Structure 1
């Protein structure tokens, strides 16, 4: 026992002094020091950047077994969370936005959208864009099982099933199904849109991301969105990812053709996407060209946009490639998730009864952004307005109190269908909708 203190005492006596350490570093060539620092940082970034990716593949890779095994929709959602919330959240969020945008190249879809008049004014376009993003993000980010413990969806059966812990995903899906029921939409158009939600994230990751989606991740997107499609009542979904890819290509070749309504609907959406960009120095005009550069040729041609200059297209690809290179090799991963909604189940005050939600990001016209509660908050909002981040101050006209999922969609439907939404959500969930998310929760709020 006496040997260890003796050894430590001997070691401490022979350690170099601070002055000796400083002198030693002074003799290291600057180029060697810089090179060593860069190599150290590259190794550190490499070790941390792939940590979630590797952990997810260790967890689910053996079960999937390169396509020989099966993963559940709940597991697929967990697999997707690595790419959608941490690794490439902004890129994949835009991928889903462009997936919807791409459907506007199908005349049957663009004619229906044009007939709704929802894309005629800046007000309706901005709300439709905000609501669509929030509804889709709720399907993707909130547990599709409805339970914090996904296994409950299997065991929670019988005559008196337990209410869902977090029914937001199915409330959002039920509201979407209810809104869609107001229009005549063909099964093929539904299926094509679904195929883009499955395929475009992988295409965008391959084209612009710092990494591609792995085969396991691509399969997870297929499994998850097929489950969403089934709950939307979409028929004839191909049985494999490969069959879906072929079906989607064939559908585009047959039905993606030029039409004036394609251009009309696409033009309104492009203006919303770049609404925050200033007109000065031709920046907005350049932004329109960049959006066109992001389109594949069949999509661009169907929307009657001209081909953009070769130099602009190559410059965009080079810029996106450089950003991906820097992110892959030099940046540490996110420590917190980045997502359009708060995925964590919000704490509900018993006195509130009917929680209203706020996004984590806002459109240029800031729907659902809370009004400032202090003088500093007012100054902050006015500064953001002055800088052009938002088009106007938040207020009741932009639903600053927040949103309820069963109210979302066109303002003319805001107060309609709530009880039916609750019933449909309970059917989709396979268990009751209770507590603050239910109609009883709404009634409790009305009494306060």
Structure 2
């Protein structure tokens, strides 16, 4: 029989258990509510700021622009949803678009943006003609040359992504790309346009497929406005893709057809970045269908890329698993273009392309299923549990070294190009996996990884180092003058 003290102790224990449980439940519910509010705060704030910006633009009046009224109808007069939600996207400036794309790539979807561009780089290798040009230059097909080529490409893109169009580093990166391309006269405009489409549309596709939410129309228009201006700076002819969303309607990653850009069919050029993105993605799909194909040059580039990216994985089995996961992320058309074909189809394909006799089997169904299951878990975690990012980490230093005038990388993937060999960079916790698997560290192998840093005027293939500065300065001034007309005086509102 329980004594009074025993009853008292039991009551205290039950109360404490109840209080702890209640507090845990209250904390959990409060956290989930806070997470739900914060998770969409940046998206809502972007739309609110842009509506405010367009509402006070002097050229606006109380009546909506005529094309916003027409955009709800197709040429037959039937009402359809064009996705714009009444937003006047035509007033977006280059600076505003740059700010939108920077938020998307640094804060909203940093992993998917970066990873989609890495996969996009591999996509651009799966075309026989440009693959032959790249093989002839031996900048990618040689395992010892590819890491620096990837690092240089990444640096140029980081300076375009991280700085506004009126910043000298943005303009120097554009001019350096133009100079490098000017040395390769065999590069054709369709190949340049396709590469531009990959950088613009791949993040859109992969975010819509894999992330915790899809991009809204304003964000897509921001990407379109940004890359339309980049294309003009890179001297890419984009006029012939006008209305391709009408003539070659594409299917997006969710299996639905894109909304046709019918609202731009009666005007010259594109009304806004959203129209441009629809046409650009339609062109990208059309170009892939018509020209992506397996060849010996494609095989050499893709094989070298996969081998270099997995060379420090310790066992052959793990290397094969990582390669299978990478291949799984590509649709079947890309797997076939890269030589991954089911054996029962290899002999049939060999009738038109003898290289398929040496084809590799695609990843097994279990690898694909496990990978997609992991993506689903990640999507659920980010949407319902994880807090949004509050700040971004840059991979390149904002200011040059005061002694050398060179910039350093503060982060890297696998190969430590342009990273200062400080104590933290060589021995900090982030380097411990590198020590474990024998991955190069900053300062290893003397000057091979350029620990002193880089200059944007000299980035690129070794035979071009120190060349083209006068050419670049002239091109930079041209780019600066051209962009001057695109910089809207109200763009600072987007930064408030």
Range into which the TM-score falls when normalised by the shorter chain: 0.7 to 0.9
Alignment length, in residue pairs?
383
Is 1:322 the equivalent of 2:377? yes
Of 332, 341, 350, 2:387 maps to 332
Is 1:386 the equivalent of 2:435? yes
Tell me how far 1:377 sits from its aligned partner: 6.4
How many Å separate the matches in 1 of 2:401 and 2:453? Answer: 14
| Aligned partners of 2:141 and 2:300 also within 8 Å | no
The residue aligned with 1:208 is 210
Q: Deviations over 1:209-265 (max 9, x none)?
A: 122211111111111011011011101344332222222222211111222211211
The residue aligned with 1:411 is 462
The residue aligned with 1:396 is 447
Unaligned stretches of 5+ residues in structure 1: 1-21, 147-166, 432-448
Residues 211 and 377 from structure 1, CA distance in 2 versus in 1: closer, same or farther, beyond 3 angstroms? closer
Tell me how far 1:173 sits from its aligned partner: 1.0
Matched ranges for 1:69-218 at <5 A:
69-146=90-167, 167-183=168-184, 184-218=186-220
The residue aligned with 1:300 is 335
Of 245, 256, 259, 2:295 maps to 259
The residue aligned with 2:18 is 28
Q: Deviations over 1:256-307 (max 9, x none)?
A: 1222211211122222333443326x21110010010011111111111233
Tell me how far 1:189 sits from its aligned partner: 0.7
How many Å separate the matches in 1 of 2:91 and 2:105? Answer: 21
| Aligned partners of 2:324 and 2:362 also within 8 Å | no
How many Å separate the matches in 2 of 1:426 and 1:36? Answer: 60
Residues 121 and 348 from structure 1, CA distance in 2 versus in 1: closer, same or farther, beyond 3 angstroms? closer
How many Å separate the matches in 2 of 1:169 and 1:47? Answer: 34
Of 395, 399, 417, 1:346 maps to 399
The residue aligned with 2:42 is 52
| Aligned partners of 1:363 and 1:390 also within 8 Å | no
The residue aligned with 1:223 is 225
Aligned with 1:362: secondary structure?
coil
The residue aligned with 2:421 is 371
Matched ranges for 1:218-297 at <5 A:
218-237=220-239, 238=242, 239=270, 240-279=276-315, 282-297=317-332
Aligned with 1:407: secondary structure?
coil
Unaligned stretches of 5+ residues in structure 2: 1-11, 55-83, 243-269, 271-275, 341-360, 483-496
How many Å separate the matches in 2 of 1:378 and 1:340? Answer: 16
How many Å separate the matches in 2 of 1:388 and 1:413? Answer: 34
Residues 195 and 385 from structure 1, CA distance in 2 versus in 1: closer, same or farther, beyond 3 angstroms? closer
Residues 81 and 378 from structure 1, CA distance in 2 versus in 1: closer, same or farther, beyond 3 angstroms? closer
Ranked by relative contact order (alpha carbons within 8 Å, sequence separation 6 or more), the top structure is 1
How many Å separate the matches in 2 of 1:273 and 1:217? Answer: 32
How many Å separate the matches in 2 of 1:384 and 1:307? Answer: 29
Residues 195 and 61 from structure 1, CA distance in 2 versus in 1: closer, same or farther, beyond 3 angstroms? farther
| Aligned partners of 1:127 and 1:367 also within 8 Å | yes
Tell me how far 1:137 sits from its aligned partner: 1.5
Report the RMSD for the aligned CA atoms in angstroms: 2.6
The residue aligned with 2:262 is none
Tell me how far 1:421 sits from its aligned partner: 1.7
Aligned with 1:403: secondary structure?
coil
TM-score (norm 1): 0.79
Aligned with 1:122: secondary structure?
coil
| Aligned partners of 1:89 and 1:338 also within 8 Å | no
Q: Deviations over 1:391-434 (max 9, x none)?
A: 24524221101111111111121121122222222221239xxx
| Aligned partners of 1:366 and 1:390 also within 8 Å | no
| Aligned partners of 1:61 and 1:216 also within 8 Å | no
Tell me how far 1:322 sits from its aligned partner: 0.6
How many Å separate the matches in 2 of 1:291 and 1:197? Answer: 18
The residue aligned with 2:250 is none
How many Å separate the matches in 1 of 2:400 and 2:301? Answer: 39
Residues 385 and 420 from structure 1, CA distance in 2 versus in 1: closer, same or farther, beyond 3 angstroms? same
How many Å separate the matches in 2 of 1:29 and 1:51? Answer: 32
